[in-house]
C-alpha cells in the first residue's frame, strides 16, 4: 500500500468493520475480516492478524486495478476514495460507472457527485452506504 492512499484504507476500516467469523452482508454475500469476500463461506473464521494481513493485501490489489482505470491525474485523496469505493462495489462496477467515465473526461466535480448514486444493496437504500459514499466523496474533493 502506498502511504498516499492511507486515508482510503482508513475509510474501509471505518465502514467495513472487522468480524472474525463469516457473515452475510446486506447484499447477501459471505464476508469476513475487513469486508473480505474472496473464497468466504459459512462457518469460516480468522484471527485478527489474518484479517489485517488480508486487508493490506487486498487493498494493494484494488489500488493497482483502480490505477489502471484512471486516465487523468488524481490526488492521493482521490485515489484513496476510489479504492475504498471499488473495495465496496467491485472494480467491475467502477470500470463501467459514470463516475470513472466523468473522471477520465476531466470532470472531477461530476465524478465526485456520482458517489452518492451508489447507496443501495439488493435494491434497498442503506443509511450506512449513504454515509460511506458521502465520506468517499468528501475525501475525493479534499486537496
Cite the active site residues. 16, 25
Contact call for residues 76 and 17 (beta carbons, < 8 A): no
CA–CA separation, 19 and 94 (whole Å): 25
Backbone dihedral angles phi then psi of residue 44, each to the nearest 5 degrees? -65, 145
Tracing cell 469505493 back to the chain, one arrives at 85
Q: Collapsing DSSP states into helix, strand and coil, what is residue 30?
A: strand
Grid cell locating 102: 466523468
Amino acid at each position: 500500500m502506498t502511504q498516499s492512499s492511507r486515508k482510503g484504507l482508513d475509510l474501509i476500516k471505518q465502514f467495513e468493520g472487522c468480524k472474525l467469523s463469516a457473515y452475510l452482508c446486506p447484499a447477501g454475500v459471505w464476508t469476513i475480516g475487513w469486508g473480505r469476500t474472496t473464497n468466504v463461506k459459512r462457518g469460516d473464521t480468522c484471527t485478527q492478524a489474518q484479517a489485517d494481513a488480508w486487508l493490506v493485501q487486498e487493498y494493494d490489489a484494488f489500488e493497482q486495478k483502480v490505477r489502471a482505470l484512471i486516465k487523468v491525474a488524481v490526488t492521493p485523496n482521490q485515489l484513496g476514495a476510489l479504492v475504498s469505493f471499488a473495495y465496496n462495489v467491485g472494480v467491475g462496477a467502477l470500470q463501467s460507472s459514470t463516475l470513472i467515465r466523468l473522471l477520465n473526461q476531466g470532470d472531477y466535480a461530476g465524478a465526485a457527485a456520482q458517489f452518492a448514486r451508489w447507496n443501495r444493496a439488493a435494491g434497498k437504500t442503506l443509511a450506512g452506504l449513504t454515509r460511506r459514499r458521502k465520506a468517499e466523496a468528501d475525501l475525493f474533493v479534499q486537496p
